[in-house]
Amino acid sequence: MKKVRSFFRKKDVVLIILIFVVLIFSILVSEKKGSKVVVQGKDFRKILSKPGTYDITENGRFLMKVEFHGNRVRVVESTCPLKLCVKTGWVGPGGTIICVPNEVIIFFEEKTDYDTVTW
Amino acid sequence: MRRITFLSVLTALSSTFYVLENLLPFPVPFGRWGFSNSVVLMIASEIGFGDALIVASAKSILGALFSGRFLSPSFLTGFFGAVSASLVESFLARFDFGYLSLSAMGSFVNNLVQLIVISFLVGSTKTFLLFPLMVILGLVSGTVNAFLASKMGGIVFENYSRFFFAQKKATDGITGDRVRS
């Protein structure tokens, strides 16, 4: 009588480890693929693509200092009274920081061409 | 003739899974169970390349016809995914791998091909952001399918194999011996 293939063999570990390596690699690649942060003010628009600390000025007037760290962003200091934007802390992709007195919105630029995908 | 009967029974089983699994929710919104692939996996592992290809394409087309999604994007992704997964599984089945890694590689290739087809349909490569999520979900459902397929292979090819492959008449032995092998 024909013997059926067994559910698990020792060789399986190799292939499954291979899949996990590809998985971790793809996660690392997709994390590093730099997302851009847009600082949108009343009459300026600044796009941050490299990590670092940036001073945001509007018409020569200092507004805030923004720290961008690859895939997260925060406001270090600001001139607004309540400091809500500073208290927001680190924000990842998809999040936004809004500073109402300075009229500044900080958000990640991640445009996709589709709403949902079904299969 | 016996081969055609056998393949059509398995195709019917697989496309029934394809339709009925829509009733069974997956814990995570994006995923699907893909129970129909376990039948294809079993055939690719136990019989071979050509039969797996036939059943994979037939169950995609029939299942899509039954669930009213023929030639829609989800049909195209499912069709190409199932066909490529059956190719990879039947290729790997020539070596001494177990069901678990066959199913895992099958679901991996299935997801990869689905993403390629989706990115052709949508016209952007941004869809590959979904790749890690799909691979993790594919590993979960692939393990379940490997378990199903190994049980199914045991039922079809070991215990009840006389039901399909008997050369003698079933009444030769003791009465009731037909299915006990």
Q: Quick check: B6 contacting A, CB < 8 Å? A: no
* Interchain contact, A26 vs B157, CB within 8 Å: no
How would you list the strands of the sheet with A36-40, edge to edge? A45-48, A36-40, A104-109, A96-99
pLDDT lower than 70: segments of chain A = 1-2, 30-35, 94, 110-119
Q: Point out which residues pair with A57 in neighbouring strands.
A: A62
3-class secondary-structure state, position B132: helix
Q: Point out which residues pair with A104 in neighbouring strands.
A: A99
3-class secondary-structure state, position B1: coil
The pLDDT value recorded for residue A9 is 85
Long-range contacts of B19-26 (CB under 8 A, 24+ apart): B19/B63, B19/B66, B19/B67, B22/B67, B26/B137, B26/B141
Radius of gyration of chain B (CA): 17
pLDDT at B62 over 70: yes
State the Cα–Cα distance between residues B161 and A83, nearest whole angstrom. Answer: 75
Q: Quick check: B126 contacting A, CB < 8 Å? A: yes
Q: What is the CATH number of the domain that holds B124?
A: 1.10.1760.20
Higher pLDDT, A2 or B24: B24
Cα–chain center distance at A75: 15
The pLDDT value recorded for residue B178 is 46
Spell out which residues of chain A touch residue B97, defining contact as CB-CB under 8 Å.
9, 11-12, 15
* Interchain contact, A12 vs B101, CB within 8 Å: yes
3-class secondary-structure state, position A86: helix
Determine contact, residues A65/A101, Cβ cutoff 8 Å.
no
- ipTM value for the complex: 0.73
State the Cα–Cα distance between residues B153 and A5, nearest whole angstrom. Answer: 8
Which of A24-28, B22-26, B126-130, B166-170 is least confident? B166-170
What the block records as the tokens of A104 is 């500044």
Determine contact, residues A71/A51, Cβ cutoff 8 Å.
no
Instruction: Determine the residue type at B59.
Output: K
The pLDDT value recorded for residue B125 is 72
The pLDDT value recorded for residue B180 is 45
Higher pLDDT, B99 or B1: B99
Nearest-CB residue to A9 (from B97, B124, B128): B97
Percent of the residues in chain B that have a pLDDT greater than 70, as a whole number? 85
pLDDT, chain B, mean: 83
How would you list the strands of the sheet with A61-68, edge to edge? A52-58, A61-68, A73-78
Which of A30-39, B63-72, B142-151 is least confident? A30-39
Task: Name the domain count of chain B.
Answer: 1
* Interchain contact, A8 vs B122, CB within 8 Å: no
* Interchain contact, A7 vs B130, CB within 8 Å: no
Instruction: Read off the pLDDT of residues B72-124 as tens digits, 9 standing for 90 and up.
Output: 888 999 999 999 999 999 999 888 888 999 999 999 999 999 999 988 888 77
**The CATH classification of domain A36-109, taken from the options 3.30.70.2190, 3.40.50.720, 2.60.320.10, 3.40.50.300:** 2.60.320.10
| Residue range(s) defining the domain that contains residue B140 | 1-179
Spell out which residues of chain B touch residue A23, defining contact as CB-CB under 8 Å.
132, 135-136
* Interchain contact, B96 vs A119, CB within 8 Å: no
* Interchain contact, A4 vs B46, CB within 8 Å: yes
Percent of the residues in chain B that have a pLDDT greater than 90, as a whole number? 41
State the Cα–Cα distance between residues A5 and A2, nearest whole angstrom. Answer: 9
**pTM check: above 0.90:** no
State the Cα–Cα distance between residues A69 and A46, nearest whole angstrom. Answer: 16
State the Cα–Cα distance between residues B42 and A1, nearest whole angstrom. Answer: 17
Instruction: Read off the pLDDT of residues B156-170 as tens digits, 9 standing for 90 and up.
Output: 776 655 555 555 554
